[in-house]
Amino acid sequence: NHTYTHTMIAYIEPYFLDNDADAASVTGQSFDGVSESLHIQGEILCGGAAADIAGKDFGGMNCVKPLAVVRPVGPEDIAGAVRAALRSDKLTVAARGNGHSINGQAMAEGGLVLDMRSTAENHFEVGFLPSGAFVDVSGGALWENVLKRCVSEYGLAPRSWTDYLGLTVGGTLSNAGVGGQAFRYGPQTSNVTELDVVTGNGDVVTCSEVENSELFFSVLGGLGQFGIITRARVLLQPAPDMVRWIRIVYTEFDEFTRDAEWLVSQKDESSFDYVEGFVFVNGDDPVNGWPTVPLHPDHDFDPTQLPQSSGSVLYCLELALHYRDSDSNSTVDKRVERLIGRLRFVEGLRFEVDLPYVDFLLRVKRAEEIAKVNGTWETPHPWLNLFVSKRDIGEFDRTVFKELAKNGVGGPMLVYPLLRSSPLYFTELCMDPRVVSSLAVSYLMSKRDLLHCLYNKAQTLDEITRGVTACEGTEWDDRASVVLPEGEIFYIVALLRFVPTCAKTSSFEKMVAQNQEIVQWCVRKGIDFKLYLPHYKSREEWIRHFGNRWSRFVDRKTMYDPMAILSPGQKIFNRAP
């Protein structure tokens, strides 16, 4: 109904014009009639708090008003919003998760913003295939809630995580989803086997590696350009009970990288379960220096342990080892010492704590709570995330860490290696779900307890035949839309800047300028890098970013969103009239 869509836009638009005297009287109004006519069951909100929230993000550097905020009930509502945009001359649609974009990527100026949190509870179902366990979750679900439910109800957990879990499933899968487990299991995009997607054509499509595979790989890391993820099938594994969390300090970057690269290149049992790292200032600055390293209030950083030759910045390798409650302390200690004994860190600057697995994965939650109390959660966050090749990471360290950022960035400076394809690992074949159910009945035990027995090779069930199969480690799939630097090993670098509440606008602008300076230096020096969570303003920069993958990206756009309805905030394509 082309005419109706025009009428709807004409009806809603005046409420977004600042000089309209009547706008105030309908701010925050829910347009039920419009919802009905567009066959949208959820709410359509204009103005008010909903539009204010949708016009901002965590980065705090952009502010644009949408025409309306849609709170969809499910995929058909999302498809309805896309179809409404298709019938109009200029309307665009952006899916917004928990608002953690940095540069306005989830905004739609004068368009429709879909608040995906309204769909968070639409899916949660754990299933079992011969290849292993999985969970179907909504694209609008927070990873934090996925973790808690999977562990508490099934003793299982997804394999690959980001550091902060207050992000939606659809949000991270549209980028990559990278953290300290990615060296072993690949990014989160390599740990999903099926998606439900609403394309820019307004179609609701189920896709996987074998069904509608071009759409599946387009959407993974596709920056929201080809479809909106409404459901994802995420691989699971048995959740450990506890984690030994360790930080060790280095003065030399080459020793830090050598040890980190050695750890991520080892086979499963020969390494830690999590490997990350960060740079910090060699001084007592509470935000950027020594105090950021200890893991417990009782731990002290003793600078007298540092050699006289230490430079202006130091490096910390952050490691974690999973274990079960049934493992003895001495067993865990032996495994740790076997690995750590080979590393060349500064003796006397080693910190460790033991904590439950879920608490470890939610470790950034504490930092979030502190930032909310001191106000820095609400200030701008001009973050810069890059992938840098192993070939160039030394030069990056010399110029960026040791010069441009030698006084810190007001927040963490992460740097750690990732593998394009991870080492070989072993996975246990899981039983068919019907078999699991019938066995559970016959053994008078819950399915969850039975699965624990299966996974832990419990003697009580040794008559059950279990296959153990060697699988290739999960890798970054070239068919996905993510682009990476060359080489088997590359680094993620994240400058996670927080602006103090008392800071002048000029200090924030300096941070943004320094980010631009770093990117321009990389380009000028021929550094092999790619922005992660990319943000560019010109077509030329996007073409450089995608390199020889640009034509494929354009072809995919033509196929799945030819009118350029979706994710206008990325500023890659312009809406076709």
Exposed, middle or buried: residue 434 (CB in 10 Å: 0-12, 13-18, 19+)? exposed
Q: What pLDDT band is residue 11 in, cutting at 50, 70 and 90? A: low
Across 44-53, 345-354, 447-456, the highest mean pLDDT is recorded for: 345-354
Tens of pLDDT along 302-347? 999 999 999 999 999 999 999 999 999 999 999 999 999 999 999 9
* Sheet order of strands, 274-281 included: 350-356, 242-250, 313-323, 274-281, 413-419, 489-495, 384-389, 529-531
Residue 474 is given by DSSP the state P
What's the pLDDT score for residue 442?
40
Q: How far apart are alpha carbons 167 and 140 in whole angstroms?
A: 9
The better pLDDT of the pair 342, 431 is held by: 342
pLDDT of 508 over the 60 cut: yes
User: What confidence tier does 270 reach under pLDDT thresholds 50, 70, 90?
Assistant: confident
Q: What's the confidence (pLDDT) of residue 155?
A: 98
Give catalytic residues, as residue numbers.
Answer: 100, 163, 276
HEC states along 50-115? HHHHHCCCCCCCCCCCCCEEEECCCHHHHHHHHHHHHHCCCCCEEEECCCCCCCCCCCCCCCEEEE
Percent of the chain with pLDDT over 90: 79
Encoded tokens for 139: 């694209």
Per-residue pLDDT band at 268 (split at 50, 70, 90):
confident
Tens of pLDDT along 173-194? Answer: 999 999 999 999 999 999 999 9
pLDDT at residue number 507: 86
What pLDDT is recorded for position 472?
Answer: 39
**Average pLDDT of the segment spanning 348-363:** 98
Above 90 in pLDDT, residue 445? no
Q: Which two tokens stand for residue 334?
A: 């032996």
482-508: average pLDDT = 93
Between 395 and 426, residue with greater pLDDT = 395
pLDDT at 28: 47
Q: Do the beta carbons of residue 420 and residue 99 sit within 8 Å?
A: no
Residue bearing the bigger pLDDT, 400 or 430: 400
- CB 420 within 8 Å of CB 472: no
Residue 547's contacts (CB-CB under 8 Å, 6 or more residues apart) are: 483
Which among 6-20, 29-43, 317-331, 430-444 has the top mean pLDDT?
A: 317-331
pLDDT-wise least confident of 92-96, 129-133, 396-400, 454-458: 454-458
The answer to whether 161 and 146 have CB atoms below 8 angstroms apart is: no
CA-CA distance, 415 to 490, in Å (whole number)?
Answer: 10
pLDDT surpasses 50 at 470: no
Collect all residues with Cβ–Cβ distance below 8 Å to 292 and sequence separation of at least 6: 280, 286, 412
pLDDT at 463: 33
What digits encode the pLDDT tens for the residues 77-119? 999 999 999 999 999 999 999 999 999 899 999 999 999 999 9
Q: Is the pLDDT of residue 396 over 60?
A: yes
Residue 23 has pLDDT above 50, yes or no: no
What whole-number distance in Å separates Cα of residue 159 and Cα of residue 234?
9
The packing angle between helices 143-154 and 447-455, to 10°, is: 90
For residue 37, pLDDT over 90 is answered with no
Q: Write the pLDDT tens digit of every residue in 189-239.
A: 999 999 999 999 999 999 999 999 999 999 999 999 999 999 999 999 999
Contacts 24+ apart (CB under 8 A), 336-344: 336/244, 336/246, 339/263, 339/270, 339/271, 339/272, 340/246, 340/248, 342/259, 342/262, 343/248, 343/259, 343/263, 343/317, 344/250, 344/255, 344/258, 344/259
148, 290, 173, 154: which is closest to 224 by C-alpha?
A: 173
Proportion of the chain above pLDDT 70, given as a percent = 84
Q: What is the mean pLDDT of the chain?
A: 88
Q: What is the pLDDT of residues 120-165, one digit of tens each?
A: 999 999 999 988 999 999 999 999 999 999 999 999 999 999 999 9
Over residues 550-563, the pLDDT tens digits come to 999 999 999 999 99
pLDDT number for residue 464: 36
